[in-house]
Structures are given as C-alpha cells and as structure tokens.
Amino acid sequence: MMTDDGLQRLVDDGVLSDDQLAEVRRALRETAAGPPLLSRVRWAEVAGYLGGGLVLTGAVLLVATSWERLSETARTVLLGGFAALLLVAGVVAAGGVAGLLAARSRGQTARLRVAAVLLALGAGSTALTVGVAMPESADSDAWVVSIAGASGLLLAAAGYALLPTVFGLVASIGLGLVAVMAGMDAVVGLDLLPAGLTLFGSGLVVIVLAILRVLRERLVGLALGSGIALFGAQQLIGQDDTAPWAYLLSFGLGAALLAVHYWLRSWVPLVFGVIAIALAVPEAIWDLTDHAVGGAAIPLIAGLILLAASAIGLRRYRERAATAGK
C-alpha cells in the first residue's frame, strides 16, 4: 500500500490535486476499516437467525408448558400471534413489501438472508397454528396434519418465490413432505410400501424441479431430492415382499442420477447415483441368492462398485483436463 509520503509526492509532481489526495486518503481509511464493518454485518446476521429461532423456541415452550391451562382459542391466538410476528419481522427485514417484491432481482445480502429465515420460521409456525386451530378427531388427524402442512407450504413457497434462498427451499420441501405424507396416510394409510413409494416419488419431483431450474438452488435441490428418493426406496428393504422394490428403485434412481451427472456435469447426482447403485447391487444379490452370499461379501461388492466408479470418474476427469489443455 502506498505511504502518505508517496501520495504527497504525487501531489508535488502534479499527478494528484489536493482534493484528489483527500479522496484517496478517505478511500484508504474506509478500506482499512472494512473487516470490522464486515464483522458487524455478520454478527447482525447471526443475531437475526438466533432471534428468529429463539422466538419460535420460546413460543413452543410457552405453549407446551401452558397447554393444559389454555383454551383452544387461546392456543390458536397465541400461536397465531407468534407466526404473525415472525412473518412481519421477515417482511420488515426485507425492506418492507416493496423490498420483498423486488428481492428476487437483487443479489443476496445478509438482510435478505435473515428475512428468508424469518419467513421460513413464520411458515412453520403458521402450519402449527392451523393444526391447533382445526377441531380434533381421531378419524381426521391425518387430514389435520396434511392441511396444516399445506397451509405452511403455501407461505413457504410464496416466500421462496419472492426470496429464493436455501432456507426457504428447505422449509418448502419439509412442509411439502408433511402435507403429502399425512395426506397419503389419510387416503390409504402409511404401510411400508405406500410410505416408501410416496417418499420416492416426492424426491423425484424435487429432482425434476431442480433440473428444470424451477428451484434456483439447483445443487441443494438435487441433493435433497436424491436423499429423499433414496431414503424412500431403502425403506422397502425391511420386508421380504417389498425388498425387490427397494433395490430396483434404488438401482433405477442411481442410473438416472448418473445420466443427470453426464448431462449437467454436477457432482451431486454423481455422488448419490454411486451410493444408490452401491446399495442396490449387494441387496439384489443377497435377495436373489436367497441370502446365500455371506455378510462379508456385501461390503466387498459395494467397495468394488465404488472403486469402479472412482476409476471411471478419474479417467473422465483426466480426459476433460487433457481436452481443456489443448
């Protein structure tokens, strides 16, 4: 960095005027003061996250400790008040309604990230409020949870559409799963096969939305969708009659994710694709041989698959590097 004597010599030589020298000195002082300001911004962002989380935690604890003493109306009003507080705080943090409507075209800032967290927490609180407000019935508990999840999903999805961040995406997917799984429970019940297939299908929907860039955070969407789909498929391994579904769906998912990797050149589908196939092949061998393959052979087969995938991946990496170097 140029010293003050060096700057003064530029003035003496006529390169800078006295006014320009003052501006340069001011700019250097602001640059030197940059890290403390950045630190303050980060601490303010963290404080916003903690504040929203503590409000939600406090609301849950307050309601839980006073639940038996509160009437249904008081419970609903109390939870609704906390939900409204979080949603209003999110809008204010985004710069008001006008700032929220214009947020999608702006780059992400600490203020907008805090707003996204508050809106996501507000959506979750709204779902809880709706669930508490609806009348209790043993025959409709699943519908109550599904409707509550759907109401929270509407708010979370609206917040994500206006302010696309990872927080809003996670809240939308989480509340969507609650609504879908509870709705499926109300319609056909959540036995092992319907539950696994519902999770698998939900994960595929998230993957497709990520590929089509409906979800701006493509990598996060691919990771969440792949994880949900693989988890759903692997649920089916728990029973003999559903085990074939488990390894067939896992293998199909893995093959599809490897194709997505070849198309998008993204590491997320590659990782989940290899994991899915590494799980599916030993499971299929174990089932098709009527458990004749010993337990020690299962990790051996999975390890060979991973090594083969690694070799193929490294070879392709070298080929691309050689092509780029030409």
Q: What is the pLDDT of residues 114-137, one digit of tens each?
A: 888 889 989 998 998 998 888 766
Name the residue among 178, 180, 141, 174 with its Cα closest to residue 156: 174
* Backbone φ and ψ of 205, nearest 5°: -60, -45
Range of the domain at 105: 56-181
Name the residue among 186, 99, 192 with its Cα closest to residue 150: 186
Contact 153, 163 (CB under 8 A): no
Task: Give the count of domains, the chain.
Answer: 1
Say how many Å lie between the first and final Cα of the chain, rounded: 39
Contact 221, 207 (CB under 8 A): yes
Please, which pLDDT band fits residue 191 given cuts at 50, 70 and 90?
confident
3-state class of 94 per DSSP? coil
User: Is residue 289 in a domain?
Assistant: no
Average pLDDT over residues 48-58: 67
CB atoms within 10 A of CB 264: 16
CA atoms lying within 13 Å on the CB side of residue 187: 10
| CA gap 77, 71 in Å, rounded | 10
| CA gap 100, 84 in Å, rounded | 16
User: Is residue 252 in a domain?
Assistant: no
User: Is residue 99 in a domain?
Assistant: yes
CA atoms lying within 13 Å on the CB side of residue 53: 8
User: Is residue 233 in a domain?
Assistant: no
pLDDT at 248: 93
Mean pLDDT across the chain, nearest whole number? 79
Q: Reply yes or no on whether the pLDDT at 40 is more than 50.
A: no
**Contact partners, residue 241, CB within 8 Å, separation at least 6:** none
Quick one: DSSP state of residue 79? Answer: H
- Amino acid (1-letter code) at residue 203: G
pLDDT tens digits along 84-106? 988 998 898 888 888 888 877 76
More confident residue, 153 or 68: 153
User: Is residue 3 in a domain?
Assistant: no
pLDDT tens digits along 291-313? 665 555 556 666 666 666 666 66
pLDDT at 240: 79
User: Is residue 109 in a domain?
Assistant: yes
* CB environment 39-55: b (16+ within 10 A), e (fewer): eeeeeebeebeeebeeb
Please state the three-class secondary structure of 164-206 as a single string.
CCHHHHHHHHHHHHHHHHHHHHHHCCCCHHHHHHHHHHHHHHH
User: Is residue 148 in a domain?
Assistant: yes
Q: Reply yes or no on whether the pLDDT at 318 is more than 70.
A: no
Please, which pLDDT band fits residue 82 given cuts at 50, 70 and 90?
confident
User: Is residue 20 in a domain?
Assistant: no
Average pLDDT over residues 221-249: 92
